[in-house]
Structure 1
Amino acid sequence: MVPLNKIFDIQYGHSLELNKLEECEPSQGVAFVSRKSGENGIAAYVKKIPEIQPAAAGELTCALSGNGVLSTFIQNREFYTGYHVARLRPKYNIDQSILLYYCLCITKNRYKYSWGRQANRTLKNLLVPELDEIPDWVINYHNESFDSKNQPLLKNVDIQLKPETWKPFRYDEVFEIFKGFYNKKPPVSNKSSDTIPFIGATEKANGITCHIKISDVAIYSKTGKITDADFNGKLFDGNCITISNNGSVGEAFFQEKKFTCSHDVNPIYLKDKSITLNKYIAMFLCTLIKKEKYRWGYGRKWRPIRMPSSIIKLPTNEDGNPDWLFMEKYIKSLKFSSSI
């Protein structure tokens, strides 16, 4: 093991403020990398600043503080950074598979920076494997299996969102909103043909925290005691969206199959029965729902009693109703939609 600065030249990022930059479409600007833990750290795309040179593609970015501390990514295009983001330039010619391995090694140290600790001074001293200690499975990995996976389902289609034209709807105008089942989780089982997903208030794994036998769902009560077999209020059909109302409030995922969930989750279904909610429409809606997460900070809960009056803005058709076909086509026009 060696200190990180033996493998990478480490320097502080640009320390720019996004609210002072001009945002633009990805094809017209430079990636702006923040301390976020998802989406490769990219918070937006901004127009170039004449007097500031963007960082080069191929460098790594690492969040030095915040909830995403030590989130590390390879940047495949030139970029700017916000505050408390480090830039790591490889000192050697290193394959991308090995760089990804180093990203994982760095991120795995994040437990050392809980309770608000920052990595500004100590990042360079983190211990990582020396180049000759990289496992063979990393060195021999090839990503040909991902070739062409970035293609859209609808090619040569340019669909503009124009959100300024969208119409606001109450949630109860668009969705049927249900309460999750308040239960103490039945025994966990390995995934099999007789189990279903248990959806909890998490931001990972499509909301699935484990799998549970259907027979156990029936007999376990909300107190965790075994009772007579009863599925009342415990099972939910697929083709819906689950939203965390506590904990990771506002996390939204599409559930394609039957599931059970905790009371910290609101399953919602489209009221419009002329349309079947599919993964493309759901991805459009989930993105909008997640954009409302900031409203539920400081311990506020998005329980089913509050959700009906919440507002969601959606594109509409000529009749003023949500334009589900537009939403589906837009998602299908994006890169990687062929891999969804």
Structure 2
Amino acid sequence: MVKFQKFRIGDLFTAESGDTDLKKVDIENNGVPVITSGVQNYGILGLATRKAKVIPKNTITVDMFGNVYFRDFEYKMVTHARVFSLIPKQNITRSIGLYFQTCLSKHKRKFSYDNMCVFTKLENETIELPIADAGKLDVEFIENYIRQLEADRLQQLEAYLIATGLNDYALNDEEKKILSLSQINVSDEVRYSKNVVEDEQIKFREFKLAVSYFKNGKKVNVSNDGLFNIMSTKKKINANTITFGGKYPYVARGENQNGIRGYINFDENYLNPEKTISFGQDTATMFYQPKAYFTGDKIQVFSLNNKYGKLNENIALYLIAAVKRALVNFAWGQSSFALEAISELNITLPIDNNNQLHLDYMENYIRAIEKLTIKDVVEYKDKMIVLTKEII
């Protein structure tokens, strides 16, 4: 029987921070990975050659929200986004690092924008670890546990890809064409007025984020051609007053699981409509919600302008990416994402030959990108299954 023991985090790790305020303008196509806060791309902002402190591999990063990632590579860290590194006091392997990551992630629920995670708060917390004789870490148990867990997950992944047809990742002719199209930005008024559009090209123009929004209970109109009608959630449900384990999604401002904190039962009159986008107003988290849902505080509901039709997952993913690009210069905090500010944002999107929003292009583009991503996943899965069979 495996024994477990609680360990103080500060006894297992020391902390390091970045020494240079690396920003998006420093990101290049080569150099050392730069780590920032957030879960997008596992917190990897990109690559940079700018001189900055390099943190050694086989360490762990923790950001202000308590997101934890093991890093098996050297990296740099931004200084403006409150991310720090945990340096193990003893050398660790990849398996042990992933095990630590899981254990440390259990503390994530304690942190938020109003209570940011820093090492001085984390160091006195504890994690439970398996121990061998003399109270030492049971390395053999952890290595075997992670290896078996990965093997199980790979088998599940293989079954899922086959069941959903995603193991067929070959691009069709239409998808190849979509990815090869050049992008003409028609915000150039001269070009736009002359309507210079060549074959095999796709053109873009700007749309206001909002058709309308509500302020102090009154509707504020923005643009008839805007993308979304922005509405407040029907009811702000306090997570501390409900019990999870119900039927409907409860969407909060987190960055994981589509923002869904759990499932609840509540008065169905307060359900927000399906096929909309939830927007966390102080964190700018955005997720497509295919089913009706309840929400917590500071959530806005984005419904696609009726003139553009119905929202589906692929179109929503494209629109969310475009909106996030437009929000890149905003800072965290509710005041930054005030509706009167974001409603006027210009979102650059593809248009068809009638200068209308090109939904077909968006949907096909996301489908093509999905196939390219799945190709990498399938190839990785096949490689790891072969390796796992050799080990086992």
User: Which of 327, 344, 357 in structure 2 is aligned with 1:309?
Assistant: 344
5+ residue gaps in structure 1?
219-230
Higher helix share: 2
RMSD between superposed Cα atoms in Å = 4.7
Partner of 1:141: 149
Distance 1:306 1:86 in 2: 35
Contact residue 30 and residue 45 of structure 1 kept, 8 A: yes
Partner of 2:206: 168
Distance 1:116 1:189 in 2: 25
Question: Aligned in 2, Cα 1:289/1:106: closer, same or farther, shift over 3 Å?
Answer: same
Contact residue 315 and residue 323 of structure 1 kept, 8 A: yes
Between 250-259 and 261-270, report the one with greater CA deviation: 261-270
Shift of 1:256: 0.8
Distance 1:249 1:115 in 2: 14
Instruction: Provide the secondary structure at the position in 1 that maps to 2:64.
Output: coil
Q: Percent identity?
A: 14
Contact residue 61 and residue 70 of structure 2 kept, 8 A: no
Matched, 1:327 2:335: no
Shift of 1:238: 1.9
5+ residue gaps in structure 2?
130-135, 187-203, 212-225, 378-392
Partner of 1:253: 287
Deviation by residue 1:36-94 (Cα, 9 ceiling, x = unmatched): 45532212233x46x889667x623324xx6245x432335553333464364795573
User: How many aligned residue pairs are there?
Assistant: 308
Question: Aligned in 2, Cα 1:128/1:21: closer, same or farther, shift over 3 Å?
Answer: farther
Distance 1:117 1:74 in 2: 17
Shift of 1:206: 2.0
Matched, 1:237 2:273: yes
Shift of 1:122: 8.5
Matched, 1:19 2:23: yes
Distance 1:288 1:23 in 2: 19
TM-score of the superposed pair, with normalisation by structure 1 = 0.66
Partner of 2:138: 132
Distance 1:239 1:116 in 2: 32
Question: Aligned in 2, Cα 1:23/1:72: closer, same or farther, shift over 3 Å?
Answer: same
Question: What amino acid is aligned across from residue 245 of structure 2 in structure 1?
Answer: N
Partner of 2:64: 67
Between 109-118 and 234-243, report the one with greater CA deviation: 109-118
Matched, 1:43 2:45: yes
Contact residue 59 and residue 72 of structure 2 kept, 8 A: no
Question: What amino acid is aligned across from residue 207 of structure 2 in structure 1?
Answer: F
Per chain length, whose mean CA-contact separation is higher, i.e. which structure has more relative contact order (CA < 8 Å, sep 6+)?
A: 1
Distance 1:21 1:306 in 2: 24
Question: What amino acid is aligned across from residue 144 of structure 1 in structure 2?
Answer: L
Matched, 1:182 2:235: yes
